[in-house]
Structure 1
Amino acid sequence: MIDELDLAFDEQIERGKPRHRRGVRGAKGGKGKSAVAFLMIFILLGVLGVGGYLGYEKIKGFFTAADYDGPGTDAVQVEIAKNSSLTDIGNTLVDADVVKSTAAFIDAADANPKGKNIQSGTYNLRKQMAAKEAVTLLLDPKARVSKGVTIPEGKTANQVYTILSKATGIPVAEFKNAGKNPEALGIPDFWFNRTDGQKVTKSVEGFLFPDTYEFPPKGTAADYLQLMVQHFMKVADELDFVQKAETVRNISPYEVLTVASLSQAEGGNSEDFGKVARVAYNRLYGDDFHCQCLEFDVGINYYYQLTGRPTKPSGKMTDDELFDTKNPYRLHGKDGLTPTPINNPGKVAMKGALDPPKGDWLYFVAIDKKGHSAFTGDYNQHLRNINKAKQNGVL
C-alpha cells in the first residue's frame, strides 16, 4: 500500500513537469494506478476516522467524573463543617455516599451560579444522588436541619447557657452541669496555671468562644460546649496565645485571658480593648499607680450575676459594694486579677491582651455615647476627661 501511495504522489509530481510528456499507454496506466491509490487513501482515512472517534470516546470516559444518576435513594443527614471548601464538602458527601465522586460535585457546583454559596450546617440529603441534585439541595434552606446560633462577644457562661437552651431546647441546668468539668470539655489542665500566686479556680468561663455555630440537631449540652471550646483552642493556636503569653507578656495564658475578658467588659468598643489591657498591665506591673490593683468595677457585677443578685451601673455602686471583702471578684482594695475570666472574650480582645499598644495610660473613662474612651497617664487630665463625659451625658 505504501508503494502505491508513493506511485500516486510521484504521478502528481510528474504531472507538474511538462517537459516529460508520456505516451498514451503510459498515461492510461498511470490513471489506473492513481485511482487505486486514491481509493486506498480514502479507505485509510475512513479507518483512521472511526478509530479516532472510538479512541476519543474511550479517552473521554477516563476524564469524565464518576457520578450517580437521579435524585437519590435513602434519606441521610450530612453535616457540612464551617469554612469547608468545595473539595471538603465533596469529600464529606462521598464519605456519606451522597455523591459518587468529589470531582463530580465540584463540577456541578461550578456549573451552578450559586454553587459557591453553600453554607455550613446539617442537611437532609439522599444517598447516591446525582451531583447536580446534591448541589441543588444544599442551596435549599428547607434542607437545612440546624440553624446558626450566635453567641455575642463578652457574654458570661451563664448567659451563653441561656442562649443555647433557647436554641436547642436543652435545659439550662444541663449546660451548667456540663460546664462544671472544664477538662472534660477539652480544656488542657495547663491552662489553669497562674504566676500571680492566686488560688486556681478551674472554670469554663473564658473558653466558650463567641461566634455563630451550626450545632448538630441531636447533640448533648456537653457536645455543644465542647464545640465551642474546640473553636477557642483553634483561635488560640492562630494567635499563638500560649507562647506569646509566656514569653512576651511573661505571665500565664490564663492571666492574659482574664485581662482579655476584663478589657472586653470595660472597653466601649473594639478599638479600645488593647488600650484597656495596657492600663491593666500598667497598674498591675508598673510603679506609677498607687497599688498593684485594677480598681475596675466590672468584677462586682460578674459576682452578682453568679450569685443571682441584680447588677448595678458603676456610677451607682457604693464603697461598701466596691470594697466588699466577701466578693472574690472585687478589684478595689485588692491586688491582682479576678479568680477567673469574667466573660468569654472575642478574638480582638484576646489579641489586644496579648499585644496591647504602647502607652503610659493609667486612667480611662467613656466620653461619648458611642463608647469611645479617653486614656491618660495624668490624674488631673483624667478629672478633666470625667467632666467632659458628664457634659456629654455619659456620666
Structure 2
Amino acid sequence: MAGNKPALRYIGFAGIVLCLGMMAVGSWFLYRAWTFLNIPPEDPGQEVRFVIEPGSGFLGIARDLRKENLITDVKQFLALAEDRGLTGSAKAGEFLLHTGWLPEKILTTITSTPGILHRFTVREGLPWWQVAKLVEQAELGSYAEFDEAVHDPELLARFHIPADSAEGYLFPETYMLTRARESSARSVVEMMIREFFKNAKQALGELPEPDKLHELVTLASIVEKETGDPSERPAIAGVYANRLRRPMRLQADPTIIYGLGPSFNGNLRQKHLLDGENPYNTYQHDGLPPGPICSPGKAALQAAADPQDHDYLFFVAKGDGTHHFSKTLREHNDAVGRYQKWGRNRKDYTSRKREE
C-alpha cells in the first residue's frame, strides 16, 4: 500500500486539476452566456432595417442578424429562442432593430410584433390595373406580379370566383402592411379578396352562390362607377334593375371604358359606342357585362342587392355630382339638353359631388 501512495497522490492531483479545468471551462461558458445576454453588440449602437422573408428558417434569420451585428452569437441566439419556445414564431416582414439592443429584445421584436407597417389605401371604383400601379408605387410588389396573381386560376378557384380575374373582389380599404424584399403582390391580392368576402358578408348577410354573387358584384361595380353622390347609389341601382327587368340595354359608359382597357386615353368617342367587338359595350350587348369593371365598396354592394324601388329608367349628370332621374326618354332627352349640352362648358362642372 505504501508503494501506491505516490500514484494515489498523482491521481488525486490530476482529479483536482481536471475539476479545476472543468470549472474553468464551465465558468468560461457561463461568462460567454452572461455577456451574450447582458452586453449589446454595440454601445450606443445604431438602427438597422431588418427584413425577414416569408418561409425563412430561424437558423438563417439568426445568421442574418449576426451579419448585421444585431447579435453576437448565432448558436446562443438559437439556444435562447429554443428556451423560449420561439424558433417557429418569427414573423415575415420589415423590422426596425437596433445594434444597442440585447438579444431578448431582438427576439421579442421579431416574434411578437408586426414590424414596420405601411399605409396602403385603395379607394372605391378602381379597376385592377390601377390597384396594381398603387401596389408597385408602395413597393409592395411589381405590376406584373400583381397582374399574374389577379389572373391566377388556382387562386380564383380557391376563393370560388367564377371568372378569369379577381376584378371586383379586390376590396377598397386602407390597409396597414409590412414590406419585404421579395414581392408580396400575391399576398396583397389574397388579403384584398379575403377582405372582400368579410365585408360582403357584413353587407349582404348570407352570400348567394358564386355565379349569383358574381352578377351582384358586376352590378355593384357599375353602380360604383356611375355614382357621384353616395346617397344616389340605391337610386342608380334601381335604374339598372328596371332596365334588366324590361329587358333594356344598360347603356353604361363605364363598361365600355373598362373594355377598352388600361390604354384608354379618357376620350370616349362615337366609334366606341358602336363597337360590338367590345364585350363590355352595354350599348351593343344585352344584360350585364361579362364581369365587374372595378372594385365596389360595401355601400355599392348593398345598393345592388337592395336597389331602390322606383319607375326611373334614365339618369344624367347635372354637373354638381348629382343626377337627374327620368321615367321617359323624352324627359331624359330634355334633361340631357339642359344639363350636359351647355353644362359641360361651365368651369365648375363635375361628375362627382364635392366634399364639404
With normalisation by structure 1, the TM-score equals: 0.56
Aligned length: 255
1:385 to 321, 331, 335: 335
Q: SS where residue 260 of structure 1 aligns?
A: helix
Q: Deviations over 1:128-171 (max 9, x none)?
A: 66xxx99xxx9xxxx96231011111010011001001101532
1:267 lines up with 2:238 in the alignment: no
1:26-45 matches, within 5 Å, as: none
Question: Are the aligned partners of 2:204 and 2:302 in contact in 1 as well (CA < 8 Å)?
Answer: no
Q: SS where residue 308 of structure 2 aligns?
A: coil
Alpha carbons of structure 1 residues 179 and 300: separation in structure 2 relative to 1, 3 Å: same
1:222 to 186, 201, 215: 186
Q: Deviations over 1:172-209 (max 9, x none)?
A: 111111111154167532x42xxxxxxxx421100110
1:375 paired residue number: 325
Looking at structure 2, the residues matched to 350 and 123 of structure 1 have their Cα atoms a distance apart, in angstroms, of: 37
Q: SS where residue 147 of structure 1 aligns?
A: strand
- Aligned-residue CA RMSD (Å): 3.6
2:261 paired residue number: 305
1:31 paired residue number: none
Looking at structure 2, the residues matched to 77 and 186 of structure 1 have their Cα atoms a distance apart, in angstroms, of: 31
Q: Deviations over 1:83-108 (max 9, x none)?
A: xxxxxxxxxxxxxx9xx9xxxxxxxx
1:106-117 matches, within 5 Å, as: none
2:203 paired residue number: 239
Question: Are the aligned partners of 1:331 and 1:337 in contact in 2 as well (CA < 8 Å)?
Answer: yes
1:325 to 271, 276, 283: 276
1:91 paired residue number: none
**AA at the equivalent of 2:169:** F
Question: Are the aligned partners of 2:156 and 2:164 in contact in 1 as well (CA < 8 Å)?
Answer: no
Looking at structure 1, the residues matched to 174 and 197 of structure 2 have their Cα atoms a distance apart, in angstroms, of: 16
Looking at structure 2, the residues matched to 379 and 253 of structure 1 have their Cα atoms a distance apart, in angstroms, of: 31
% identical aligned pairs: 28
Q: Deviations over 1:64-94 (max 9, x none)?
A: xxxxxx9x99x9999xxxxxxxxxxxxxxxx
Looking at structure 2, the residues matched to 187 and 272 of structure 1 have their Cα atoms a distance apart, in angstroms, of: 35
Looking at structure 2, the residues matched to 226 and 185 of structure 1 have their Cα atoms a distance apart, in angstroms, of: 10
Looking at structure 2, the residues matched to 298 and 264 of structure 1 have their Cα atoms a distance apart, in angstroms, of: 10
1:86-165 matches, within 5 Å, as: 124=96, 145-165=116-136
Q: SS where residue 340 of structure 1 aligns?
A: coil
2:170 paired residue number: 208
Question: Are the aligned partners of 1:186 and 1:226 in contact in 2 as well (CA < 8 Å)?
Answer: no
Q: CA deviation at 1:284?
A: 0.8
Max radius of gyration: which structure? 1
**AA at the equivalent of 2:305:** L
Q: SS where residue 285 of structure 2 aligns?
A: coil
1:284 paired residue number: 244
Looking at structure 2, the residues matched to 150 and 252 of structure 1 have their Cα atoms a distance apart, in angstroms, of: 28
Q: SS where residue 268 of structure 1 aligns?
A: coil
Looking at structure 2, the residues matched to 269 and 259 of structure 1 have their Cα atoms a distance apart, in angstroms, of: 17
1:348 paired residue number: 299
Looking at structure 1, the residues matched to 257 and 205 of structure 2 have their Cα atoms a distance apart, in angstroms, of: 27
Q: Deviations over 1:289-334 (max 9, x none)?
A: xx4321111111112124x343324xxx20x321212111100132
1:188 paired residue number: 159
**AA at the equivalent of 2:326:** T
1:172 lines up with 2:143 in the alignment: yes
**AA at the equivalent of 1:355:** D
2:213 to 253, 256, 274: 253
Q: SS where residue 148 of structure 1 aligns?
A: strand
Question: Are the aligned partners of 1:241 and 1:354 in contact in 2 as well (CA < 8 Å)?
Answer: no
Q: CA deviation at 1:377?
A: 1.4
Question: Are the aligned partners of 1:256 and 1:354 in contact in 2 as well (CA < 8 Å)?
Answer: yes
Alpha carbons of structure 1 residues 182 and 260: separation in structure 2 relative to 1, 3 Å: farther
2:251 to 286, 295, 314: 295
Looking at structure 2, the residues matched to 122 and 275 of structure 1 have their Cα atoms a distance apart, in angstroms, of: 46
Question: Are the aligned partners of 1:305 and 1:311 in contact in 2 as well (CA < 8 Å)?
Answer: no
Q: SS where residue 168 of structure 1 aligns?
A: coil
1:360 paired residue number: 311
Looking at structure 2, the residues matched to 309 and 167 of structure 1 have their Cα atoms a distance apart, in angstroms, of: 24
Question: Are the aligned partners of 2:315 and 2:324 in contact in 1 as well (CA < 8 Å)?
Answer: yes
Unmatched runs of 5 consecutive residues or more in structure 1: 1-69, 79-96, 101-120, 193-200
Q: CA deviation at 1:123?
A: 5.9
Looking at structure 1, the residues matched to 332 and 94 of structure 2 have their Cα atoms a distance apart, in angstroms, of: 52
Looking at structure 1, the residues matched to 221 and 242 of structure 2 have their Cα atoms a distance apart, in angstroms, of: 17
Q: SS where residue 365 of structure 1 aligns?
A: strand
